[in-house]
Amino acid sequence: MSEETLEGRCLCGAVTVAATPARPHVEACHCTMCRRWGGIAFTGLQCGQNVRFTGDEHIARYASSAWAERGFCRECGTNLFYRFVPADNYSLTAGLFDDVGALTLGEQIFIDEKPDWYDFAQDTPKKTGPEIIAEAKAAGFAFD
C-alpha cells in the first residue's frame, strides 16, 4: 500500500485527523459493542500509531473494555476511533475521510455476532469472535 496520508474530520470540524492506513482496505466489525456504538457494523481503517489529531481537547475517550477505548467528538458526537490499548493501535472510522481512493472492504470480523437484518454485498474473508481472540492471544495479547 502506498504511504498516502489521508485527512479527515468530524461532522463539526472541531477534530481533524491525518493518518496513514496500515492496510489497503476498510475492515468491518460486527460485534455487539460496535453495533451498539454506531448502529451498525464499525467500518474502519487500521492505522496503527500513524495518527495525528488536532482538536484533542474535543476528543472524549471511553474505556469500553479492559483492552479497548473508543473516541468521539464531544462537540458533535461523531465516532472517531477504536483503539486497541495494548498495541496503541488506532482504527479510524472510514466515514471521517472524504476520499479513501481505491480502498475496498477487505475483511469482516465477529461475523458470528452479525444480525440477520443486514449483509454487505462484498465477498470478503470473515472471522468469528473466537477466531479473532485466538489470533490476538497467539500474538501475545491477554484478555482478562
Distance CA(87)–CA(134), nearest Å, equals: 16
In a domain, 99, yes or no: yes
The CATH number assigned to the domain holding 18 equals: 2.170.150.70
In a domain, 23, yes or no: yes
Coil, helix or strand for 112?
Answer: helix
In a domain, 143, yes or no: no
In a domain, 30, yes or no: yes
Based on the structure, what is the number of domains in the chain? 1
In a domain, 11, yes or no: yes
**What pTM, to 2 d.p., does this model score?**
0.91
In a domain, 144, yes or no: no
> For residue 144, what pLDDT band results from cuts at 50, 70 and 90?
low
- pLDDT tens-digit readout, 40-57: 999 999 999 989 999 999
Distance CA(35)–CA(115), nearest Å, equals: 10
80 and 90 Cβ atoms separated by less than 8 Å: no
- pLDDT tens-digit readout, 58-77: 999 999 999 999 999 999 99
